[in-house]
Amino acid sequence: MKYVIVFFYVILSMNQKISAEDFQIDVSDSNMYKPELLQDLPDAAISNQIITKKKLDQINAQKISDLIQLDSSLSESYSSVGYSDSVSVRGITLNSQNNYLRDGLPFLVDAPVQFENKSRVEIIKGTYGILSGLSSPGGIINYVTEKPTTNANMSSNTKIKTELTSAGQFGAQLGTNSFWGADQKYLYRFDLAATKLSTNLKNSAGKKYLASFSFKSKPVENLTVDTNIESSYQSQASQPGFSMLGSKIPTDINPDINLNNQSWTQPVEFTNLIGAVKINYEFNKNTKISVSALGQNILTNDRVAFPFGCTAESVFDRYCSDGTFDVYDFRSENEKRKNNVVQFYLNHQFEFLKTQNKISLSYQNRNVTEIFDKQAYNYSGIGSIDGNSQTPENSILSDENTNKKFSADELTFFHQLQYQKISTTMGLKYASISKKSIRTNETRATDIKQNFMLPWATLSYTNENNLIYTSYSEGIESYVTPNKLGYSYPGQNIPDAVSRQIELGFKNTNKNIYGFSLFYMTRPQIEDSAPIYTIDGQQKNIGAEINSEVIFDNYKFDISGLFLQAKTENAEINKIKNNKTTINTPQTKIKIGLDYNFESIQGLSLNSIYHFSSERFMTADNNLTLPSWMTLNVGCQYLWNKTNTISLRIDNLTDNKYWKESPTQFGHIYLFPGVSRQLTAIYSSNLN
């Protein structure tokens, strides 16, 4: 951070003649993620999806798993009400600490991400070590915050929004932009939101709050400064999953039953504070530098009546045949997580021998600290899937936890060369990482250091609005044996797990947008079956993605599909996985969206989203299958006076009962039901 302050001071000290025009700030919010890409996402040789604010509002997005209905490459991956959920991309679950960005900087999603102050979500698919070296290979999700924007003819621009659902959830939010100074040299934005959380799921009432402030200025010529601070809080009882009953998948389950329904159940609480600053300076039209920093503190009180296994039948990956299960009183309070990031970028472009060249040199330092107290994980009694059983609390803090420290220094070089319509890019990332851990009783200390190099290359051809490309990329995942009893070598480092991907794609970005991509990905598989924790074989994902957005008269069709074959090969320890489809991975996903604007009633439109997910295998031997499912969401919107909008939306119109996913966590197979039918009404207004 001290380097940021010194840089800022030096720039401000420059003695230059500045006109009023030099202070004019570009107030558009079009800066997509492109530190190394040096291109906007639609023009880059990668597969991507940009989910706009309009689309987020249309589905009333509350969490990341809501986005699966907008992009077929996304799937549920332990998506629980009241907790920080996660998703998989191209069949790979994203890592909560390394696969998510906020305005291009890595941040932790170990607390729920609030959408009220987000302008869009950018999904970058595939293994792209050049963008985020230490991460799961499925892809990267970048949340873009609302930036200060205003109209030169107005002193401010304010929007209010309210929501009400049939489950009793009520929320209100306020966003306002303004500026001071005749030349609009200083812009600022406030976002405030409060929501009384209530879902169809019983015993899941809660609340959440958000306050965000953004500031943008141009204090001297060629220099812009963006700052943002965001504070959020969420308190809500979480949702444990159901499971198999012996060897059977339960049917006729009420999806609104919450198994976390003991008299002593307490909500999970998340307090999340994030501050960020970005300084851009243009030496000239060809050379730019930027300095960015982000700090994040998360405080969590994690509490749940946790169902796990069946002692009566000596099985611990599912529930008992009669619908009962063991209940544990889990409490891990005062969890502290800190994430600090500093980035430096130098971007330069030049012409050489009739070729256009763009280069980027960047350095990033990141430190993540996790500090815990003792936790409770104590047997409480017997629960049942009808949700009627009660057990006594057992909150003794007797289980040791593990404190962790992670630091990484990354140096990245990127070169793009373009000759006429042909472009090639080459990137190389060098990273040095350090991982330390120690139990809360100061035993089993570990100290691990690693270095790695990751390449990335693309070749593309552009003709008007058409882009054909191929790419090769590598990424790395770092594993450490859990520092717990029961493992042969607790705290031991696992050799580098390098993922590789080859992709061939086509994109068109004209009025009618469509694209197609083929990908081949390999990823080392971890065998986690205490006392064993090691790499055993590899996961091979071969797939195709299609997307199309076509506008015809008053109709707009939006179609996307994922066709995936995800297999395990070369396993030596758990050979039963060989040539079997990986668990909780649908092989086919299809989304069809249709919007219609009425000519006879100006401002009225209808929209619908059909979502299909094929069967998923629940066990490594593929003997148990979760049936395929489909949902239909419909809505309408009416805009009048160009400032007021009311929207009505029905999720799961047919009230279909289905199991949406079957993730395995801690060696236990869980089942999460799809949400039952719900009506949402939203009113928003631009006040000026």
Euclidean distance between CA atoms 517 and 543, whole angstroms: 8
pLDDT of residue 278: 95
- Asked whether the beta carbons of 481 and 487 are under 8 A apart, the reply is yes
Three-state SS annotation for 506-575? EEEECCCEEEEEEEEEEEEEEEEECCEEEEEEEEEEEEEEEEEEEEECCEEEEEEEEEEEEEEECCCCCH
Rounded distance, CA 663 to CA 240, Å? Answer: 12
CA distance 406 to 232: 24
Q: Going by C-beta distance under 8 Å and a sequence separation of 6 or more, which residues neighbour residue 129?
A: 429, 454, 455, 456, 473, 474, 475, 476
CA distance 278 to 298: 22
DSSP E strand stretches across 464-512: 466-477, 497-509
Question: What's the CA gap between 658 and 68, in Å, rounded?
Answer: 16
Q: In the structure encoding, which two tokens stand for residue 234, read together?
A: 């969420």
Q: How far is CA 10 from CA 5, 7, 283, 309, in A?
A: 9, 5, 14, 62
Q: In this predicted structure, what is the pLDDT of residue 530?
A: 77
Q: Which two tokens stand for residue 519?
A: 């990908």
Helices (H) then strands (E): counts for the chain: 2, 37
Closest to 677 measured CA to CA, from 637, 631, 609: 631
Question: What is the per-residue pLDDT for 155?
Answer: 53
Residue positions counted in the chain: 688
What's 99's DSSP letter?
S
Q: Which pLDDT belongs to residue 22?
A: 38
Contacts 24+ apart (CB under 8 A), 280-285: 280/223, 280/224, 280/225, 280/226, 281/11, 281/222, 281/223, 282/222, 282/223, 283/222
| Encoded tokens for 560 | 């996307």
pLDDT of residue 14: 34
Q: What is the pLDDT of residue 522?
A: 94
Low pLDDT (below 50) residues in the chain: 1-32
- List, for residues 484-497, the tens digit of each pLDDT value: 777 888 877 887 78
Side chain identity at residue 264, one-letter code: W
Q: Is the dihedral of CA 242, 245, 249, 251 positive or negative?
A: negative
Which one-letter DSSP state was computed for residue 95?
Answer: P
**Rounded Cα distance, 273 and 476, in Å:** 29
| Local structure of residue 22 (DSSP, 8 states) | G
Rg (C-alpha) for the chain, rounded Å, is: 25
CB-based contact 627:671 (threshold 8 Å): no
Predicted pLDDT at 127? 74
Residue 153 is predicted with a pLDDT of: 55
pTM given for the model: 0.92
pLDDT of residue 17: 37
Give pLDDT, residue 10: 34
Dihedral pair phi/psi, residue 26, rounded to 5°: -70, 110
* Alpha-carbon distances, residue 248 vs 13, 103, 239 (angstroms): 72, 45, 21
